Structure 1
Amino acid sequence: MNRTETALIVSAGPGLSASLARLFAKEGMQVALAARDTAKLAPLVDETGAFAVACDASEARDVESLFAQVSGKLGVPDLVVYNASGRYRAPVGQIDAKRLRDAIDVTAIGALLVAQEAAVGMLARGSGSILLTGATASVKGLPGSTPFAMGKFALRGMAQCLARELAPKNIHVAHFVIDGGIASGAMHRDVANAPDALLDPDAIAREYLHVHRQHRSAWTWEIELRPWVERF
């Protein structure tokens, strides 16, 4: 009898995280959701039967507690998705050092803390996937986007290092370059003059599941996703 998989989504909310939770639950996975404010997750928890845990991913103690709670209730995660981003942008002359550190803590340091905890359990079991959500700023710096790009470039570098370190141990690490805006709420499928100008979060979620389920003889460490009308 096949073992039920457990998926953990860190920085859960509307949009992509919600689409991931719905898809994973539909596929028969046990789902755990982590967010600073779990009250906002109540409708999604009711819909998917997910286990919600309050967590500030930039705090090591919170991340340790998160994995202890999820592992204790659902077992060591088979799939961990890190979606958190410090979305701080400012022109170079106006970058505030504290806000910059806070943004990098969320985007990059938090990702490392989550990946560390995920790797410990996965290595002990001998399998697992760690999927990290990047952005256009992961590969292309833009004017006024220095703080955001610094965090996302760090995330991508970390993903590449971890993929090379953990792949030989049967842990699949992959980085997703989400090159465009993600439709959510009223914007979802409501772009009258520009069909498909925003990425459909349900379509993105299916790609995450596809990468998780790739045969290990044909793994990818990075995938770029963008609308067909997006320039790149």
Structure 2
Amino acid sequence: MSDDKPLVLVAGAGAGLGQALLSRFTKDGFAAVGLGRTQPETVIGQFFEMDLTDESAVPSILAQVIAEHGPPKVVIHNTSELIIAPFAETRLADYQRTWGSMVQSAILLAQSTLQPMVRAGGGTFIVSGATASLRGGTRFSAFASAKFALRGLTQSLAREYQPAGVHVCHAILDGIIDTARSRDLHNLDPGKMMKPEDIAEAYWGLAHQPKSTWTHELDLRPASEGF
């Protein structure tokens, strides 16, 4: 191992929330490793540019990371693939892409990290969900179907691994995250958007809950958001 710092591993560590998560954990002494399809301009810690649905590459790279840093103390699954289209215009390939990006990647991440975390004495595994984790909206059939599946997967993992000492939790992000891309796309008042650093602070809290009061599902939204 390269040092004695605990490891935080973020899958989907792009600009915005992914890098904000790595920043928050490194602030308090964690070693940071990010995984993603495209490396952001500013990188915190190590970054591996990779296809997170690749069933041969993901275990191989994570085995290298664990060999260098030891088993992760915190793992965050933060990948997303947003397709908005009428059902009649949504192709099977669109569903496969969303399911792969969000569900298959979570399976590969969990298979590569949960057992090492158990052997190391535990840790926290957080999955980023969305409004679509709870309800499917018009033109969101691909996205919602994957988010529903991801929520179910997370529940199953929690029931299996919580007794072994791994805190598995699902965070529903009910709002638009404030990034340069989302500002251009949605033209919203930034005051009504979710700040990546504030979400990261909530995830930090989840990762440091005492075992007597573990949260499995947390929903976060701006004060102005209806629900």
- Structures share fold, TM-score greater than 0.5: yes
SS at 1:196's partner residue?
Answer: helix
Q: Which residue does the alignment assign to 1:152?
A: 147
CA shift at 1:4, angstroms? 2.2
- Distance in 2 separating the partners of 1:123 and 1:136: 31
Given candidates 197, 210, 213, the residue that maps to 1:202 is 197
Q: Give CA deviations for 1:164-196 in whole Å, capped at 9, x if unaligned.
A: 1111110000001000000013878xx998563
Distance 1:57 1:212 in 2: 23
Q: Does 1:180 align with 2:175?
A: yes
Q: Structure 1 residues 167, 58: CA separation in 2 closer, same or farther (over 3 Å shift)? A: same
Q: Is the 8 A contact 1:118 1:130 kept in 2?
A: no
Separation of aligned partners in 1, 2:197 and 2:38: 23
Secondary structure at the aligned position of 1:230 is classed as coil
Calculate the TM-score normalised by the size of structure 1: 0.90
Which residue identity lines up with residue 117 of structure 2 in the other structure?
M
The gaps in structure 1 that reach 5 residues or longer are none
CA RMSD for the aligned pairs? 1.9
CA distance in 1: counterparts of 2:187 and 2:144, whole angstroms = 31
Moved more, 100-109 or 172-181: 100-109
Tell whether the 8 Å contact from 2:176 to 2:182 is kept in structure 1 after alignment.
no
Amino acid corresponding to residue 11 of structure 1 in structure 2: G
Cα displacement (A) at 1:96: 0.4
Q: Does 1:122 align with 2:128?
A: no
Q: CA deviation at 1:69?
A: 1.8
Q: Take 2:201 and 2:188, find their aligned partners in 1: how far apart are those partners?
A: 26
Structure 1 counterpart of 2:5: 4
Residues 66, 227 of structure 1: CA spacing in aligned structure 2 closer, same or farther, 3 A cutoff?
Answer: same
Other-structure match for 2:220: 225
SS in 2 for 1:80: strand
Deviation at 1:130, TM superposition (A): 0.7
The residue correspondences of 1:27-46 to structure 2 (distance < 5 A) are: 27-38=28-39, 40-41=40-41, 43-44=42-43
- TM-score, length basis structure 2: 0.92
Aligned to 1:77: 72
- Partner letter of residue 28 of structure 1? G
Q: Where do 5+ consecutive residues of structure 2 fail to align?
A: none
- State the Cα deviation string for residues 88-138 of structure 1 (Å, max 9, x = none): 222111110112111111111111111111112112212011100110000
**Alignment coverage as a number of residue pairs:** 222
